């Protein structure tokens, strides 16, 4: 089986400061990879390098494209990369405001992604949008409301619908449940798990919440000071951590 | 089906002066299809540790653990994930699920993961929940709100939902009443009859005597502290 994403020796510096260094891994179709670490550990930098938002200083990010097989997204042309991020990729931001157009209706937010890949029939776009709003449990009668009138949890679910409507194969998530009530968080986790299973999506989830990765991720990568210090099966890394920092991280979690 | 050979394990605690705690030395065990082997030994001897090593939940420092054709010790994460999905089931003492997901879906999940249709999965989940005496009015509720014994039984239903060729059972009959204990033991016997290789931990001696074909005392593998 060809990996969907193959990352080799990706490094990113901000001037003299280290963002992340020598990160390599493979992600296979249907896999969910969690990246944990404290703030400043380089996990968001890495995610942005993978998703084409930042250009890594060194390294390759090879994505298995539908048309042409594995291609390095770092060296591909800007239009090609933009096409990928509109079709095969999705990016769920921590703050829904970064991923939504706040002054366009909920239905319009979902429809825009469809139009970006060529859909033109208004009726079809609207019905697909309503279908997806239903999948993320947003009532049809809110289709014409603006996301600025939505609660934080609804905005986050709308962002997920907007991202998934074009049937991406890889979804990048930056703290997808950060800043949400635990009750909303649980519903979102269940939604994401169901979508991953039913649509066979692969996902890379950056978070600092160990409970979230335990429920969502198959594999885990632990970062500290820009380096990957430990990788493995999620439950194995959490239950039998090998690196001192991971042991500290796991033993510092508060029990409810 | 399961073959454990010269397996050793130690824990290194980096934040406590890097203490090394050896917990397992030269463990050996073979389980054939249709056979159930009971692990015995005092609390802390390493019964659950050995089981978790077989499941890939704990890393193994030395030796070989074959489940089918896969060596757990050297396998890649995705190979272990596939093995867990298709071949190797594990019923732990604790239920770990996404909050607010209905019991029926919790039990159906392992079947959906191997491609069983939603209707067929729900059908089998209903059958198991009925067998294990979980009242039907609770099926649409999250098991996290249930009593300890009910959670345990939901966990068992989930563990037996897909017919794994190899199973690990960590105290499946603990804290169950007589009737439910009987149901669980018959589920284990059914699994053996269809050819599943089982490793079990039972504190209940009568249960162990009934379903286990052999017993292995894990304390013989506990390293001697000098």
CB B181, CB B208: distance < 8 Å? no
Residues of B in contact with A193 (CB under 8 A): 98
Task: Measure the CA–CA gap between B54 and B201, rounded to whole angstroms.
Answer: 13
Residue B182's pLDDT is 93
Residue A241 φ/ψ, nearest 5 degrees: -65, 140
Mean pLDDT across B9-34: 91
- Supply A3's token pair: 């990996």
Decide which of B159, B183, B200 is a domain's last residue. B159
Residues of B in contact with A187 (CB under 8 A): 100
Mean pLDDT, all residues of chain B: 92
Q: Are residues B140 and B193 in the same domain?
A: no
Nearest to A244 among B14, B81, B101 (CB): B14
Nearest to A233 among B77, B96, B112 (CB): B77
Residues of A in contact with B96 (CB under 8 A): 214-215
Task: Measure the CA–CA gap between A236 and A219, rounded to whole angstroms.
Answer: 9
List the B36-40 sheet strands across, edge first: B88-91, B166-170, B197-201, B36-40, B214-217
CATH code where residue B188 lies: 3.40.50.300
Q: Are residues B20 and B82 in the same domain?
A: yes
**How would DSSP label each residue in B16-28?**
TTTEEEEEEEEEE
Q: Does an H or E element contain B29, and which? A: strand B19-31
pLDDT tens digit string along B129-150? 999 999 999 999 999 989 888 9
In a domain, B215, yes or no: yes
Q: Which residues of chain A have pLDDT under 70?
A: 255-256
Residue B70 φ/ψ, nearest 5 degrees: -105, 130
pLDDT tens digit string along B61-71? 999 999 999 99
Decide which of B159, B181, B206 is a domain's last residue. B159
Residue A177's pLDDT is 82
Q: Are residues B171 and B66 in the same domain?
A: yes
3.20.20.70, 3.40.50.300, 3.30.70.100, 3.30.360.10: CATH of A30-56+73-88+169-256: 3.40.50.300
- Overall domain count for chain B: 2
Q: How far is CA A172 from CA A94, A128, B17, in A?
A: 11, 22, 38
Q: Are residues B19 and B77 in the same domain?
A: yes
Residue B95's pLDDT is 85
Q: Are residues B81 and B14 in the same domain?
A: yes
pLDDT tens digit string along B75-129? 999 999 999 999 999 998 888 888 888 999 999 999 998 989 999 999 999 999 9
**Domain-by-domain residue ranges, chain A?**
30-56+73-88+169-256, 98-167
In a domain, B92, yes or no: no
Q: Are residues B46 and B131 in the same domain?
A: no
Task: Measure the CA–CA gap between A42 and B130, rounded to whole angstroms.
Answer: 50
Q: Are residues B68 and B168 in the same domain?
A: yes
The verdict on B52 touching A (C-beta cutoff 8 Å) is: yes
In a domain, B81, yes or no: yes
Mean pLDDT across B23-49: 92
Q: Are residues B170 and B149 in the same domain?
A: no
The nearest CA of chain B is from the CA of A180 a distance in Å of 15
Residue B94's pLDDT is 82
Domain coverage including residue B146: 97-159
Residues of B in contact with A189 (CB under 8 A): 98
Residue A256's pLDDT is 59
Residue B199 confidence class, pLDDT cut points 50, 70, 90: very high
Task: Measure the CA–CA gap between B166 and A151, rounded to whole angstroms.
Answer: 47
In a domain, B176, yes or no: yes
CB A92, CB A171: distance < 8 Å? yes
Residue B225's pLDDT is 66
């Amino acid at each position: 089986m060809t990996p969907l994403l193959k990352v080799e020796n990706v490094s990113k510096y901000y001037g003299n400061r280290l963002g992340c260094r020598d990160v390599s891994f493979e992600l296979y179709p249907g896999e969910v990879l969690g990246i944990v670490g404290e703030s400043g550990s380089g996990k968001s930098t890495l995610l942005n390098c993978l998703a084409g938002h930042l250009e890594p200083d060194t390294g390759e990010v090879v994505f298995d494209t539908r048309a042409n097989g594995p291609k390095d997204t770092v060296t591909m042309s800007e239009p090609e990369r933009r096409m990928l991020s509109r079709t095969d990729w999705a990016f769920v931001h921590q703050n829904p405001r970064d991923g939504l157009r706040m002054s366009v209706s909920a239905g319009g937010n979902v429809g825009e992604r469809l139009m970006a890949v060529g859909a033109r029939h208004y009726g079809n776009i609207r019905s697909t949008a309503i279908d997806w709003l239903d999948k993320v449990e947003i009532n049809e009668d809110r289709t014409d409301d603006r996301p600025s009138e939505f609660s934080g949890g609804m905005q986050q679910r709308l962002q997920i619908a907007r991202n998934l409507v074009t049937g991406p194969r890889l979804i990048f998530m930056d703290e997808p449940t950060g800043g949400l009530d635990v009750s909303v968080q649980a519903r979102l986790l269940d939604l994401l798990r169901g979508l991953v299973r039913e649509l066979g999506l692969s996902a890379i989830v950056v978070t600092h919440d160990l409970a979230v990765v335990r429920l969502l991720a198959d594999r885990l990568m632990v970062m500290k000071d820009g380096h990957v210090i430990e990788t493995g099966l999620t439950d194995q890394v959490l239950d039998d951590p090998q690196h001192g920092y991971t042991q500290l991280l796991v033993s510092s979690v508060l029990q409810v | 089906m399961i073959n454990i050979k010269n397996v050793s394990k130690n824990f290194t605690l980096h934040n406590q002066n890097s203490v090394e705690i050896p917990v397992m030395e030269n463990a050996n065990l073979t389980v054939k299809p249709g056979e159930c082997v009971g692990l015995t030994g005092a609390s802390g001897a390493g019964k659950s540790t050995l089981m978790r090593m077989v499941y890939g939940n704990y890393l193994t420092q030395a030796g070989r653990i074959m489940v089918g054709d896969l060596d757990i010790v050297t396998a890649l994460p995705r190979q272990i994930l596939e093995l867990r999905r298709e071949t190797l089931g594990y019923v732990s003492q604790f239920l770990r699920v996404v909050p607010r997901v209905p019991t029926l879906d919790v039990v159906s999940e392992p079947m959906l993961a191997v491609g069983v249709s939603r209707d067929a999965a729900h059908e089998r989940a209903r059958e198991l929940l009925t067998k294990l005496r979980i009242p039907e009015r609770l099926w649409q509720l999250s098991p996290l709100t249930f009593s300890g014994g009910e959670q345990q039984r939901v966990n068992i239903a989930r563990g037996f939902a897909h017919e794994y060729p190899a199973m690990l059972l960590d105290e499946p009959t603990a804290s169950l009443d007589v009737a439910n204990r009987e149901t669980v033991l018959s589920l284990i016997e059914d699994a053996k009859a269809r050819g599943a290789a089982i490793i079990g931990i039972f504190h209940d001696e009568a249960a162990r005597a009934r379903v286990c074909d052999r017993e292995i005392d894990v304390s013989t593998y506990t390293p001697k502290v000098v």
